[in-house]
Amino acid sequence: MNLFELTRALVDIESTTNHEKNVGNYLYAQLSALTTRYSGRIERIPAEPQRDNIFACWGEPVVTLSTHMDTVPPFFASREDSEFIWGRGSCDAKGIIAAMVEAAKKLVAAGTRNFGLLFVVGEERNSAGARAAAATPRGSRFLINGEPTENRLALGSKGALRYEITAQGKLAHSAYPEFGHSAIHTLLDVLNDIRGIRLPEDALLGRSTLNIGTLDGGRAPNVVADLAKAEIMFRTIGDPAKIREAVAAAAAGRAEAVEVFYTPAMQLAKFDGLPTSVVAFTTDIPSFEGAWGQPFLIGPGSIHVAHTAEEHIPKRELSEAVDIYARMATQLLATGKGGA
């Protein structure tokens, strides 16, 4: 199975977050053959019930190539044309998985040892797989993490701060709203104040941003709503203390604001010979907590089509990524550093 065939095979296995089991089983079978042929080993690292990371290595891993198996919904299958492979996860991050597997094949065929592959669950929601991996390190000193960066080494990535905002109300007939209290109206007022929070900026990472991702509430158009909820996410560039204070102030006395996830912004190392960029998205890297080594962030594909109905990855970038990953691993193994 070549690079493009493997990418499509992975895309065609539905693996939205919390449903990674089938793609994990597929990768376990694929990598079992490779570890058997080249005297490696493979294991499942439990993250949560019925959710395992897949780890394969050859020798004692000094360098680990890693990305995530889960995707955002909705699932849609693959297709390809002369330039691109399309489908959910094609660039985020199943094409990256395929490129890493192909890089591993190239490395072991050349006799390279002491590197590994780590594919984790849950990056799109709460980094459950990376957190589990951080608790069970395997000695790796360098982590090459794959996300869509158009094959440019990311020197920084934003953090994430996610809240659930819940407002309570009182049911009433909508013809007599004075006898009730609308949770939806309250929630909208709170969200409006949150939208007005002044967000900080950073010279490298740019400005923090806010997304109101989900809204849910009410019973019927002729009933005053007794409950309303929203999920919101800030993309952070530094210490989120002031944002936390502002969210708490906006919700005070009107709604409950529960912080459900936080991961910090990161500034990352350079690597000789690679073009660079800065990205606004969040990765698994902070959740690894350094347990798998010094991180580098790079991968084929554009984040601008990830999570969209037009998700795709250029075949040219996929092929280039195989060589980039193999070269990075070889240099790190040989020199113990990414640059002079």
Active site residues: 123
Q: Which residue has the tokens 């659930």?
A: 164
Structure tokens at 179: 């006898």
For residue 223, give the nearest of 177, 166, 168 by alpha carbon.
Answer: 177
| Order of all β-strands in the sheet with 312-314 | 79-80, 84-86, 312-314
**SS3 per-residue string spanning the chain:** CCHHHHHHHHHCCCCECCCCHHHHHHHHHHHHHHHHHCCCEEEEEEEECCEEEEEEEECCCCEEEEEECCECCCCCCCEECCCEEECCCHHHHHHHHHHHHHHHHHHHHCCCCCEEEEEECCCCCCCHHHHHHHHCCCCCCEEEECCCCCCCEEEEECEEEEEEEEEECECEECCCHHHCECHHHHHHHHHHHHHCCCCCEECCCEECEEEEEEEEECCCCCEECCEEEEEEEEEECCCCHHHHHHHHHHHCCCCEEEEEEEECCEECCCCCCCCEEEECCCCCHHHHCCCCCEEEECCCCCCCCCCCCCCEEEHHHHHHHHHHHHHHHHHHHHHCCCCC
At CA 57, angle to CA 285 and CA 47, rounded to 5?
Answer: 50
Residue 286 corresponds to which amino acid?
A: P
Structure tokens at 123: 């990056």
